[in-house]
Amino acid sequence: MIINPISQDRRTFLGSAGIGLGSIALNTLLQEESATAADAKLGSQQPHFPSTVKNVIFLFMSGGPGHMDTFDPKPQLSAMEGEYVPDSIGANVPNIPRSGVGSKLMASPFGFKKYGESGIEVSDLLPHTARHVDDLCVIRSLNHRIPVHGPAENFTLTGSSLGERPSLGGWVTYGLGSEARDLPEFIVLSSNSGGPAPQRPGWGSGFLPARFQGTQLDDQSGVPYSELPQLYSVADRREQLDFIRLMNQHHLRRQNANSELEARIESYELGFRMQLNAPEILDLSRETEATQKMYGIDQKPSAVFGRHCLLARRLVEQGVRFIQLRNGGWDAHGSLKSNHIGRCRATDLPIAGLLQDLKQRNLLEQTLVVWGGEFGRTPTTEGNQTGDKRGRDHSPAGYTMWLAGGGIKGGQVIGATDELGFVPIERPLSPHDLHATMLHGLGLDQHKLIYLHNNREEIPTVLGGEVIREAFAT
């Protein structure tokens, strides 16, 4: 039926033109998304200001290491062993029971010693890492309000507890790209699956194009399915991939914009290059016996994480931009003593080996190394446990992380928690501040690293974070 447009009222016009208006709106959105995806395909690909830092290795200790058992000694906690939380502390800390009710204070079962010229105190759990304390910037005043593992891990690695945003590794590779042509820009290795389940947003791309998500490598074989099948030549594979790429690109042209499909097309090409080059890069047998021993690969407790740390160094040499080494199992609600002894035996020597190896190869100054979990642990025992069965609950209100390399001024402590270790009383800092600082080290201004999503200019630190400028040497 043809309607005279002059005689149409508003309701009739909108009713008859709804499909057309919807199509116009949809087409506009698709064009904007296509333009955004095209612009974001390479990100800025260069820092906003000069920086010597090129790579990041994030040593993520999932489950929450106890800060007063590792890098934040609390003599007063030892003096008050077994007592209830005093009102002077409990009144200022949410969910902490008043004196006479609830959990008792628990002294650390580990001693502390001063190390290096800086004299920073480190737990007896970490004698190997302690040798490098003059390279560490220990931040004792991290805090947030999320007491649950999954959301807290998301917050630590993405800046949001909901898991809907890109991981920090995704933002870094979006902003800077990678110098590694034959390897992914962002690589994740996980060890010790015990404890809280890994949170995929921690290496996901969120609303960024899918190509900026992290690539997981297998514990043992490195890159799964990266070998060519028997009786299959490189020329055969090249011919097959050329045909697949042709068909995918034809389909992509009809889709306007589809970052998942674009990522799939690029993954085929990257996979092909990895088949040719990754086995050699990931072959640790090429390393000397002395180097492998330095990482603890010759010892059963530290063999897996040692391999991961050595792989991280090799990946840095190849130009991989962001490497996340996730070590789980730190969630010590009970038997904290045996739990933390086991976790430190698995990670202490490999981390020390990594720092030493990077330094002797002149790679530490271009590599920012970060250590820490999604939160710390409370100064109190959990429940009515006794003896070595005692454990600690989650403590997002105050905990410790450290930075090294990448222009960081080592041998210093930033911030402090109260005398028992509940909350920061000096220089309180959030994961957003940590992210802003890491980006600054890479030469990226958090407010200039922008991605348009849902008509909003998104930045990596959500609403912004403070750069911890005293963390840097200059």
Question: Residue 99: is its pLDDT beyond 50?
Answer: no
Q: Compute, in degrees rounded to 10, the torsion defined by CA atoms 296, 302, 307, 308.
A: -130
Residue-wise DSSP of 179-206? S-TTS-SEEEEEE---SSPP-GGGG--T
Question: Residue 462: is its pLDDT beyond 90?
Answer: yes
Residue position matching structure tokens 């080494």? 325
Residue position matching structure tokens 């086991």? 342
Dihedral of alpha carbons 313, 125, 294, 342, sign: negative
Same domain (yes/no): 182, 307: yes
Same domain (yes/no): 140, 241: no
Domain that holds residue 13: 1-40
Same domain (yes/no): 91, 194: yes
Higher pLDDT: 432 or 45? It is: 432
Please state the domain count of the chain.
Answer: 3
Same domain (yes/no): 60, 207: yes
The CA–CA distances, whole Å, from 33 to 26, 30, 207, 251, 392 equal 10, 5, 11, 17, 47
Question: Residue 9: is its pLDDT beyond 70?
Answer: no
Same domain (yes/no): 296, 198: yes
> Residue 224: its pLDDT value, please?
55
Residue position matching structure tokens 């931040």? 139
Give strand pairing partners of 123.
112
Q: What's the whole-number mean pLDDT along residues 288-292?
A: 97
Question: Residue 318: is its pLDDT beyond 80?
Answer: yes
> Residue 41: its pLDDT value, please?
44
Same domain (yes/no): 87, 20: no
Same domain (yes/no): 191, 323: yes
Residues 6+ apart with CB under 8 A from 92: 422, 423
Same domain (yes/no): 204, 242: no
Segments of 331-445 assigned E as strands = 367-372, 376-377, 394-395, 399-405, 412-414, 416-417, 424-426
Residues in the chain: 474
Same domain (yes/no): 463, 343: yes
> Residue 96: its pLDDT value, please?
56
Same domain (yes/no): 306, 178: yes
Question: Residue type for 183, please?
Answer: L
The overall average pLDDT reported for the chain is 85
> Residue 35: its pLDDT value, please?
40
Helix (H, G, I), strand (E, B) or coil at 59: strand
Q: What CATH number does the domain containing 141 carry?
A: 3.40.720.10
Interval 345-399: pLDDT, tens? 999 999 999 999 999 999 999 999 999 999 999 999 987 888 999 999 999 999 9
Same domain (yes/no): 62, 98: yes
Question: Residue 248: is its pLDDT beyond 90?
Answer: no
Q: Kindly indicate the confidence band of residue 86, based on its pLDDT and cuts at 50, 70 and 90.
A: confident
Question: Whole-angstrom distance between the N-terminal and C-terminal Cα of the chain?
Answer: 75
CA distance 213 to 205: 4
> Residue 23: its pLDDT value, please?
42
Same domain (yes/no): 301, 276: no
The DSSP secondary-structure symbol of 424 reads: E
Interval 36-46: pLDDT, tens? 444 444 455 78
Question: Residue 126: is its pLDDT beyond 90?
Answer: yes
* Percent of the chain as helix, strand, coil, to the nearest 5: 40, 15, 45
Interval 14-73: pLDDT, tens? 455 444 444 444 443 444 444 444 444 445 578 999 998 999 999 999 999 999 999 999
